[in-house]
Structure 1
């Protein structure tokens, strides 16, 4: 089942995020931030739960712009599927959920970035219809 994350998911989210960024010294998962995202109508922290366990998560930010009238766009971040549950279509279900929602609010595109070394993730995103050759992503960490 896919649902919005709650404060009580903090520790389980931490485990998933550690799989995404195992060596991060800055990673901090805060209950108040989970709640702030839950209450924000433009931001979504979603989890895939099965038998009380969190097996995946994804963040969606819906962004306004002036270029395409009232059509927003979505930004996907931090998509993680538990290492022991890959290959079970959990990531696919999370992305489909996001795509269905974005279509329902007339988003004109969904963007995501992926670490340049995550080749298996890139193959997954391309299988799901995301093109890695349309744009080039840039990041500046502050």
Structure 2
């Protein structure tokens, strides 16, 4: 089942994020932030849950712009599937959920960034219809 995260999911989310960035010293997952995202109509923290266990998650931000009239775009971040459950179409289900929502609000595109070294993830994203050669992503950490 895919649903929005709740603050009681904090520990399991922390475990999933640790799989995404195992050496991060800056990672913090706060119940208050999970709840803040849940209350925000343009930000979503989706989780894939089976029998009380979180097997995957991603963040979706809906961004406004002026270039395409009234059409926003979606930005996906922090997509992770539990390392013991990969290959079970959990990531596909999460991305399809996001796409259905974005279509329902007339987004003109969905963007996502992936660490340049995560080649298996890149193959997965391309299989899901994302084109990695259209743009080049840049980040500046603050």
After TM superposition, give the deviation of residue 128 of structure 1 in Å.
Answer: 0.2
After TM superposition, give the deviation of residue 4 of structure 1 in Å.
Answer: 0.3
Match of 1:33 in 2: 33
After TM superposition, give the deviation of residue 18 of structure 1 in Å.
Answer: 0.2
Match of 1:101 in 2: 101
> Does residue 77 of structure 1 match 2:69?
no
**Matches of 2:108 and 2:83, distance apart in 1:** 32
**Matches of 1:5 and 1:22, distance apart in 2:** 21
Q: What are structure 2's unaligned runs of at least 5 residues?
A: none
Q: Deviations over 1:35-72 (max 9, x none)?
A: 00000000000000001100000000000000111100
TM-score, structure 1 length as denominator?
1.00
Q: Deviations over 1:80-109 (max 9, x none)?
A: 000000000000000000000000000000
TM-score, structure 2 length as denominator?
1.00
